Amino acid sequence: MKDDMTRRDFAKLTGAGAAALAAGGAAMTPHWAMAKEGDRRDIAAEVKKRISERFAEPGRKAREISDAGKLKLVTEKLMQPFEGYGFNLDKGQVIRYELTHGPQIIDTTYLVRSRPIEEWADCWMTGTFGSLVFSEGTHYVSCPPYVRPLLTLFKDTADYEKMHKVCGKLAGHNFFYPHGRCTEGLYEMIFGMPNCNSCNSNLLKGMIEAAGEEVTRALRVPPGVFMHFQTIAFDKVPTNMSYYTNRGMFKKGDYVELLAHEDLYVSVSMCPSGDQHWDEAETVKELSNYPLTYKIYVGEEGPLETVPVPQLKSLEAIDYIKAGRPAW
């Protein structure tokens, strides 16, 4: 690859380059687009790093404010097992999910309040610029054509050293499985239990509470689902994941905090898999489930700093096609 290759030429060779170009990245040259791992080249790693860094500063500042104890509580709610909850989260606010009673899995969905049917936190875009298993510094990126950070996960108190010792170095608890969530159909197929409580129905309940029935019916399914406090690892060959018990993996009071960069509708499911001790349970009914608390904060002087909105020019795909697919 020549050093004078233009960024557009390089974009033709790699989807990562195309993503960076669409995001308005800096001039692309091979020396920074080629991160090495042993003798293998990961041509996307540096692209991800540089794009993520463009939006990192507000999350760092939020972490400093949180660590200094300078977040001001706005509201809190104790969520009960087997339920779905919906609420508003405003731009510049911080959402904390806290294990106040025991190890409880949650699934979450985020819709942009100004256009909930068109834009949401998207798993595929988040993974494209991050990873399937994520930790502090991860941006939840919205769907095309908007492709912008809607939230940043900036604090996670889980004991990763313990998690990696027990479950392997690939283990984590914040993750998504592309378009994944437990569903009533899944449980009926496995256990023969129709209409079992599931994250699918719980998230839809929360979406109805926050965004309304019309929006929820238009979307039909939770469009992007992000999990917390569910110990897993994508350690299978071919690639898939292992589930590990949550018992002994978290301590009471562990939490994650996220900074909202936009006004959002939030839906949370109290996953019926609860503490996920499938190593002992025969059916979902034998799992232990616990309440969990969410808290919403602002800074001492109001909403926190958020990321600027990228000025992308891509059209919605159907509009682009109907416009004759104009050139770059």
pLDDT, tens digit, 9 for 90 and up, residues 155-200? 999 999 999 999 999 999 999 877 689 888 888 888 888 898 999 9
Task: Look at residue 281 and tell me whether its pLDDT is greater than 80.
Answer: no
Say what the pLDDT of residue 300 is: 96
Task: Look at residue 93 and tell me whether its pLDDT is greater than 90.
Answer: yes
The string of pLDDT tens digits covering residues 21-48 is 334 433 333 333 344 555 567 778 888 8
Task: Look at residue 295 and tell me whether its pLDDT is greater than 50.
Answer: yes
Over residues 137-162, the mean pLDDT reads 96
Residue 243 to residue 91: CA distance in whole angstroms: 34
Assess contact for 296 and 89: CB atoms under 8 A: yes
Residue 264 to residue 256: CA distance in whole angstroms: 18
Please indicate whether residue 237 or residue 112 has the higher confidence score (pLDDT). Answer: 112
Strand partners, 103: none
Map out the domains of the chain as residue ranges: 7-54, 57-299
Say what the pLDDT of residue 187 is: 83
Say what the pLDDT of residue 38 is: 55
Q: Label residue 17 by pLDDT band (50, 70, 90).
A: very low
**Within 13 Å of residue 242, how many CA atoms lie on the same side as its CB?**
13
Task: Look at residue 16 and tell me whether its pLDDT is greater than 60.
Answer: no
pTM, 2 dp: 0.85
Residue 236 to residue 265: CA distance in whole angstroms: 35
Say what the pLDDT of residue 170 is: 93
Task: Look at residue 279 and tell me whether its pLDDT is greater than 90.
Answer: no
Identify the H or E element spanning 186.
helix 184-191
Say what the pLDDT of residue 39 is: 54
Distant-in-sequence, close-in-space partners of 10: CB < 8 Å, separation ≥ 6: 1, 17, 28, 29, 30, 33
The pair phi, psi for residue 242, each rounded to 5°, is: -105, 145
Name which of 60, 130, 94 is nearest 299 in CA terms: 94
The pair phi, psi for residue 115, each rounded to 5°, is: -155, 65
Task: Look at residue 216 and tell me whether its pLDDT is greater than 60.
Answer: yes
Please indicate whether residue 166 or residue 12 has the higher confidence score (pLDDT). Answer: 166
Task: Look at residue 112 and tell me whether its pLDDT is greater than 70.
Answer: yes
- Whole-number Cα distances in Å, 253 to 109, 160, 223, 247: 23, 15, 29, 14
Say what the pLDDT of residue 277 is: 79
Say what the pLDDT of residue 108 is: 98
Say what the pLDDT of residue 312 is: 85
Say what the pLDDT of residue 179 is: 66
Task: Look at residue 9 and tell me whether its pLDDT is greater than 90.
Answer: no
Task: Look at residue 3 and tell me whether its pLDDT is greater than 60.
Answer: no
The string of pLDDT tens digits covering residues 222-275 is 999 999 999 999 998 888 889 899 999 999 999 999 999 999 999 999 999 888
Task: Look at residue 61 and tell me whether its pLDDT is greater than 90.
Answer: yes
Say what the pLDDT of residue 26 is: 37
